[in-house]
Structure 1
Amino acid sequence: MPGIYIHIPFCKQKCSYCDFASYPREVGKAEAYFACLYKEMHSRANELKGKKFDTVYFGGGTPSYVDPKYILGCMRLIKKEFDLAENVEITLEVNPGTLDRNKMRVYKEAGINRFSVGLQSASDEILRDIARIHTKADYIAATEILKSYELSTDVMIGLPNQSMQSILDTIDLAIERGSKHISMYALTPEEGTPMYSRYLNGDLPDGDTVADEYDKARAYLKDKGFLRYEVSNFAIPGHESKHNSNYWRRGEYIGLGVAASSFIAGRRFTNTESIDEYVHCLLSGKYAEVYSEKIEGEDAKEEFVMLALRTERGIILKEYSAAFGSDFSKDFSSGLKRADKYLLKDETRVKIKDEYLYVQNGIIVDIIS
């Protein structure tokens, strides 16, 4: 089933590594933004009649930073306008420094049933260094509020002055506080961020060090019962993110709000990153799309392969055949020969070997080139 993504572009403070569409000084535009977001929801819902959605995901930015009345307003309209599955997964991203019990009461009324909490590190020193607004104590307090809900925690590796023990301590804290899902991301120094300057200065661990951190953390998570189902995502079986799993299976989703991307009926399209441009477009009676492309033929096949090979599941051969009416092994025969030593293959599927999944990008390029 398709999913719904809602982008909340407001935050209290920009983290030093963040290059997402998030704006700490523009929360005064929230009233106008959400009014236009509701307009977009209504229009898109009319176009998508007949589709049933089984996930809703609020990302950002920091969705938990804005007045919770806006989250409630979004969910009221979504429930009214979209056909939601009975067991719909509804996720809200949370910064631990922005959650309190008053907000939680509103989120409960809105029907939020899953929370993705951005811990990143259990070290207050590291959190200050990367300009996070919360502390370890804030995370503990937030997870106390969320203890009866499905909980995911974000953990970062490859941070400056981060030891392996610090990473394991962060994982331990997430598990102790009730997380059944952990997303573990390696820091990517993006050009234009403060962290990029530190990368240029040589202040960040090198790629081999980060890869070693990842392998040790992956093994540690496995020992704790968390199985990797995508390169950056680990879960106790049965607690995988339905919303993100839909992305990797090349499922449909509608993105709403600034910078939101969508994939519907084979077309990928993305909204502007500018709040002002977004508001202007919606008030003018048009969508704020700045990119649109129909993905067909060989491009669609390559996209299917790229997404599937990020996962432990890999490419299910009968699913590929059903999607494209052709044989995967024949379509990519030369690429499969080039990448053979990195792959596990049988009569039902092809996947990247466990030890190579972290460096899957180069392998995938070899296959689809």
Structure 2
Amino acid sequence: MGPLLIAACASLTAWLWLALAQGMFWRTDVRLPPRTDPARWPSVAVVVPARDEAEVLPLSLPSLLAQDYPGAARVILVDDGSSDGTAALARRLAAERPGLPLTVVSPPEPPPGWTGKLWALRHGIAHARDTRTTDVGAGPDAGPGAGPEYLLLTDADIAHAPDSLRELVAAATSADLDLVSQMARLRVAGFWERLVVPAFVYFFAQLYPFRRINSPASRTAAAAGGCVLLRTDAAVRAGIPDSIRQAVIDDVSLARAVQDHGGRIWLGLAERAESVRPYPDLADLWRMVSRSAYAQLRHRPVLLAGTVAGLVLVYLVPPAALVAGLAAGRPALAWAGGLAWLLMAGTYLPMVRHYGQPAALAPLLPLTALLYLLMTVDSAVQHYRGRGAAWKGRTYARPGDA
């Protein structure tokens, strides 16, 4: 038995395990749990960190201001050192469109030990809970100046359907959840978005199977940072965001902190929230992935080597084995590679369909995996060059940098 056949059989075994024993990660039917309207709608503060978001804000902020929410709610946009007029644009949009009240706050630059987004969230949450400023956000049964009962943490590029907040709160109250998060539908307009974006969600679900996250008996924890409804009491217990202030991958860290402090968490695919940020070129998508890929591996060369080897074995060996087996007249090699590739494409197909893309895209997953492999290696290279996780003028080269 040659080395390539051994690798092909190992890859086929891996795909059998992934398809059958990895929490059915490939299914795309994990949506908000059954819900009923609460007897009293709790108060909510929507906190939106924004840094140089003037391009997307006209497509996202009006959707938050227009939320059809029966309880008390308001929007707090945290202008995180923008240089493109984000704050002024937000105020103008709110003045032009009646709806939920908007407050714009502008914190100073983050101190050492904080990432920019979490520093912005800290100020937004503090403002929401400030007894002098949250009267409009208090529920009818709350005391004077009480803070909001829930926080919706949502990115500035996420547009919400008018009933998004209502459905999130109904899900949280019905199932007694401390954190409800949805993976917003990302934009898939151009060729590179079609090739890379569905795989991004697929790979995330493979690492963090939604069904495991949603099981009270599981210790798997993750969230999607673009849309997180968080019970304020749970945030206080977990010390959010101070306890995760250095996290580059803040959504996973947030969910883990809530879970570690006894909170119940839930994650699924969104039906009412979508990203309006365009990634028209491969370079844009490359930056999106590479800025945090090595941080996901905790900046450890051993984990990087293991990840590269795993990607090669699981995603690149099957097509190579099939082609080599057919060319050399080795049916066992061709069958092993072909079956592994078929399982790969079959588990990817539901996500391709979820994004409304043709089924012919599913067999191209090895090509996309190769791109992600190169992005991950580039993320490590940038880290060791001192550039680390760069985002809009800030670089987090290693844990603790800000």
- Structure with higher helix content: 2
TM-score (norm 1): 0.28
Question: Which has the larger Rg?
Answer: 2
TM-score (norm 2): 0.26
| Highest RCO, 1 vs 2 (Cα 8 Å, sep ≥ 6) | 2
